[in-house]
Amino acid sequence: MHKTMQILHWSKYLVVAASVFFASVAVADPKPNIVLILSEDMGFSDIG
């Protein structure tokens, strides 16, 4: 296969995957945006 044929071959799959992704995002129920951040204050010298 030539390089351009390979690019065209994979671009078809990319277009289909992007279409499915954006269609599922458009149909999805809105969910709350929750961000949980955990941190600790123990440094390397605090271990022992």
Q: Give tens-digit pLDDT for 16-46.
A: 888 888 777 666 667 778 888 877 776 666 6
Contact between 23 and 16 under an 8 Å Cβ cutoff? The reply is: no
Q: In the chain, which ranges are continuous DSSP H helix?
A: 3-27
**Model-level pTM?**
0.44
